[in-house]
A and B are shown apart, each in its own frame.
Chain A
Amino acid sequence: MARTDAFNHAHHVVPKKIYYTIFGLLMFCTLLTVQIAFMDLGPFNTIAALVIATFKATIVVLFFMHVKYSTRLTWAVVLGSVFWLGILITLTMADYLTRAWRTFG
């Protein structure tokens, strides 16, 4: 067991430069998502919006929320939330999106 006094002071301080970089990226992505929304890309408008939003959410979780520097247990909990959200979305959509198919008449 690594029960040393050093553990009382060992914590990861994320450099401020990383916070500023993430902030810049988030602002850039916001402008990008607005720009893309005004172009007609058909179904890709929604896909682009969701991809950009998910990228933004991911960098917030990894850097602002320090998950990149966290324990594996924290990673498991965070990925668990995504997994269960995935179940919620997939099973619901498997019903609603397929109702119009009328395969069996």
Chain B
Amino acid sequence: MPEVVHDLHGHAVPGLAHHFDNLEQQREATTLGMWVFLVTEVLFFGGLFVVYAVYRNWYPEAFAAASHELDVMLGGINTAVLITSSLTMALAVHAAQTGKRNLVMLFLIATMVLGGVFLGIKSVEYYHKFVEHHIPGPQFEFAEKELARHAQLFFSLYFLMTGLHALHMVIGFGIMLWMLWWTYRGTITNEYYSPIEISGLYWHFVDIVWIYLFPLLYLLGRHGAH
């Protein structure tokens, strides 16, 4: 543990790093830094969403037909699971701010469990796609032969986008584990809860990516001819 820092009035502030004036400034700097990182993430995923928009615009029939192959029920359940995990994450931050250590740990575990359920359902979906030969490549098969070529494009984007999202979930799971350890050993207090707060920002961001992925990938081919 670092040496306890005193503020400008000589009061000991255990959660304060020496290069900040006070906890408020320290928190603002931490939050801002995380947001700057999230901006790069927005543009990182944004590029993929643009690729999706271009190809969907060029091959609407193939994209609608391929989207129809996805399981709306599983995708919908996963959306609900992820939204619930965002709630438990928000409640973990609330518990950290109010200094309820046990509740922080409980909500972090709940968030991890829900994240695990999401990844479990996702792997069931991936398995179905594997069995149905919907993995892009030489073994790819599609019922409507004339659309197969462009349906592969949809599935390439599906696996790239949901895969990258799932990777973020796995990283988020690791971060939650780390925060659980920090909370357990007493690093997290109602003065120094920024780590929980910015881990939450990351988790909610990953939730937002899914909020767009679900309708764009699963729901676009639900009405009309297919």
> Once the chains bind, are B8 and A26 in contact (CB under 8 Å)?
no
> Once the chains bind, are B39 and A23 in contact (CB under 8 Å)?
no
Which B residues are CB-close (under 8 A) to A13? 94, 97-98
> Once the chains bind, are A45 and B32 in contact (CB under 8 Å)?
no
> Once the chains bind, are A9 and B31 in contact (CB under 8 Å)?
no
Chain B contact residue count (CB 8 A cutoff): 61
Partner of A85, one of B16, B43, B86, B211: B43
Which B residues are CB-close (under 8 A) to A20? 87
> Once the chains bind, are B87 and A23 in contact (CB under 8 Å)?
yes
Which B residues are CB-close (under 8 A) to A78? 35, 39
B215 beta carbon closer than 8 Å to chain A? yes
Chain A contact residue count (CB 8 A cutoff): 57
> Once the chains bind, are B57 and A26 in contact (CB under 8 Å)?
no
State whether A26 and B83 are in contact (beta carbons under 8 Å apart), knowing that A34-B76, A89-B53 are contacts in the complex. Answer: yes
State which residues 7-55 of A face B: CB under 8 Å.
7-11, 13-14, 16, 19-20, 22-23, 26-27, 30, 33-34, 37-41, 45-46, 49-50, 52-53
State whether A60 and B222 are in contact (beta carbons under 8 Å apart), knowing that A7-B24, A77-B36, A88-B47 are contacts in the complex. Answer: no
Partner of B16, one of A8, A64, A88, A89: A8
Which residues of A are at the interface with B, using a C-beta cutoff of 8 A?
1, 3-5, 7-11, 13-14, 16, 19-20, 22-23, 26-27, 30, 33-34, 37-41, 45-46, 49-50, 52-53, 56-57, 60-61, 63-66, 70-71, 73-74, 77-78, 80-82, 84-85, 88-89, 92-93, 96-97
